[in-house]
Amino acid sequence: MPGLRVHITGSAVAGAAYAVAAWQIGGMPPSTCLLASVLCVLAGVLPDLDSGDEESARESAGFAAAVLPLLMIHRFQQAGLSSEATVLAGASLYLAVRYGAAWLVSRYAAQRGMLHSLPAAAVAGQVAFLSFGAEEPLHRYYMASAVVLGFLIHLVLDEIWSVREGHFGPKFKTSFGTAMKFYGPEAWSNLLSYVLVVALGVLSATDAHWSEKSLPTRQYVRQQMEQAARSMPTTPAPWNYRR
């Protein structure tokens, strides 16, 4: 099985290539491309939460807990939270992911279980889509696809490392086929995975519909605010002092 360094390297190369392509061909802003490449690297280590390796699981949980609150900042602002409430919400989300979600995964997830699966890649992409509240809908799709790409790179590397060269051709380890899969041996984890895929899919479709429907209104408001800011005087008025 490839180690943490291999997964980080593979997802980093894929994320960098995806970012350069989006920048040069798709016209994405450089900052958006850089963030997408970081998310690709993060997604490339997420499946190791169920690896049984304490170091890999700790690093994966730490990455997810640190990045998810940052993605949610725009959502917090849309909800009208103050700066203090935003900090508290981000810290609470960090603790919930870093310790709560990580404990649940270590307690109930089986090694090479449904976290190493194609439905899990879809769940990761949908969570990224719902968390990242960009003004431009295309940017949200780009971020979600970068997460799915990093997750898939991890699964592909696991399958590649499950094949080794023998005297009479390639030999397949018992772990071959346990990463790129649609279902696992446990019925409850299969059911939970597909319930999450469907539920998050409905939420993502609803949110995307609302976001794209309200986009003209938000663009108009932003244009009016920018126009008002440009019309304001740039030099301060002189103060009148009384003696």
> Residue 107 has which token pair?
């307690």
Per residue of the chain (243 residues), give pLDDT as tens. 667 788 889 999 999 999 999 999 988 999 999 999 999 998 888 887 776 566 667 777 787 888 888 888 888 887 888 888 988 998 999 898 888 887 777 776 666 678 888 999 999 999 999 988 777 788 889 999 999 999 999 999 888 877 766 555 566 666 666 678 888 888 888 899 999 999 999 999 998 888 777 655 555 455 555 566 666 655 555 555 454
What's the confidence (pLDDT) of residue 175? 63
Predicted local confidence at residue 198, as pLDDT: 95
What is the predicted pLDDT for the residue at 243? 47
Whether residue 45 contacts residue 7, with contact meaning beta carbons closer than 8 Å, is answered with yes
| The pLDDT of residue 235 | 52
The one-letter code for the residue type at 101 is A
Q: According to the model, what pLDDT value does residue 92 have?
A: 92
Structure tokens at 125: 């992409």
C-alpha of 230 from chain center: 36
Q: What is the domain partition of the chain in residue ranges? A: 4-228
Instruction: Read off the DSSP letter of residue 199.
Output: H
Q: How far apart are the first and last CA of the chain?
A: 82
Task: Judge whether 182 and 119 are in contact, CB under 8 Å.
Answer: yes
Q: What is the pLDDT of residue 216?
A: 59
Does pTM top 0.85 for this prediction?
A: no
Alpha carbon distances (Å) from 185 to 21, 42, 108, 152, 199: 38, 27, 14, 20, 22
Tell me the per-residue pLDDT of 6-38, one tens digit each, with 9 for 90 and over.
888 999 999 999 999 999 998 899 999 999 999
Sign of CA dihedral 157, 162, 166, 170: negative
The DSSP secondary-structure symbol of 47 reads: G
pLDDT at position 132 is: 86
Residue whose C-alpha is closest to residue 14's, from 158, 154, 161: 154
Residue pair 131/68 in contact (Cβ under 8 Å)? The answer is: yes
Distance from C-alpha of 25 to C-alpha of 73, rounded to nearest angstrom = 28
